[in-house]
A = this chain, B = another copy of it.
Amino acid sequence: MNKSIFYHAGCPVCVSAEQDIISLIGEQNVQIIHLGEQQDQIQVAETAGLKSVPALLTPNGNVLHINFGASIEDLKN
Complex: A58 Cα to B67 Cα, angstroms: 13
* Residues of chain A in range 49-75 having any CB-CB distance to chain B below 8 Å: 56, 58, 60, 62, 64-68
Interface of A is mostly: mixed
Chain B min CB distance to A61 (Å): 10
Cβ-defined contact, A24 with B25, below 8 A: yes
Known contacts A4-B24, A24-B24; A17/B64 CB under 8 A: yes
Cβ contacts under 8 Å, A65 to chain B: 66-68
List the B residue with the shortest CB-CB distance to A54: B64
Cβ-defined contact, A20 with B62, below 8 A: yes
Chain B min CB distance to A62 (Å): 5
